[in-house]
Amino acid sequence: MTMAVFCGTGMQLLFMAIFTLIFSVAGFLNPSRRCSLVGALLLLYILMGSVGGYVTASLYKTFGGKAYQQATFATALVFPGLAFMFLFLMNLLAFSKRSGDAVPFFRMVELLVLWFG
């Protein structure tokens, strides 16, 4: 199951990167506006969740797995959970040092709602 989850997550990230490059080349995303690029990355990652779930489920079924629902659930939780935990801890460190680059608390809550939504 672990291999299927990692492959599904990898395909999700690959498709997100491809679509981001396509939109950047087409002129929709401007690298000088950091917020638009990060917002587009998050939105595309969320939209490509269906690709990740499909790849995970089909790969898991190919190898004779029976609980493909659990595999797709793990795809939705493992990588984003680790990434959010790392981001949250780094943000706490930035807050403790009174850095201006710290993400506001309500922005972190918005990310959490997007993840569970």
Contact 60, 27 (CB under 8 A): no
pTM of the model: 0.77
The Cα–Cα gap between 108 and 35 comes to 14
pLDDT at 34: 63
pLDDT band at 96 (very low <50, low <70, confident <90, very high): confident
Choose from 9-13, 66-70, 94-98 the range with maximum mean pLDDT: 9-13
- Structural tokens at position 21: 């490059």
Q: Does residue 104 surpass a pLDDT of 90?
A: no
pLDDT tens digits along 30-76: 777 766 777 788 888 888 989 999 999 999 999 888 888 888 888 88
The Cα–Cα gap between 40 and 50 comes to 17
**Long-range pairs, 88-91, Cβ under 8 A, ≥24:** none
Contact 56, 4 (CB under 8 A): yes
Q: Does residue 91 surpass a pLDDT of 90?
A: no
Q: Where are the alpha helices (DSSP H) in 28-104?
A: 34-47, 49-62, 68-96
CB atoms < 10 A from the CB of 95, how many?
A: 13
Residues 6+ apart with CB under 8 A from 113: none
pLDDT tens digits along 76-87: 888 888 888 888
**Long-range pairs, 84-88, Cβ under 8 A, ≥24:** 84/111, 84/112, 84/115, 87/111
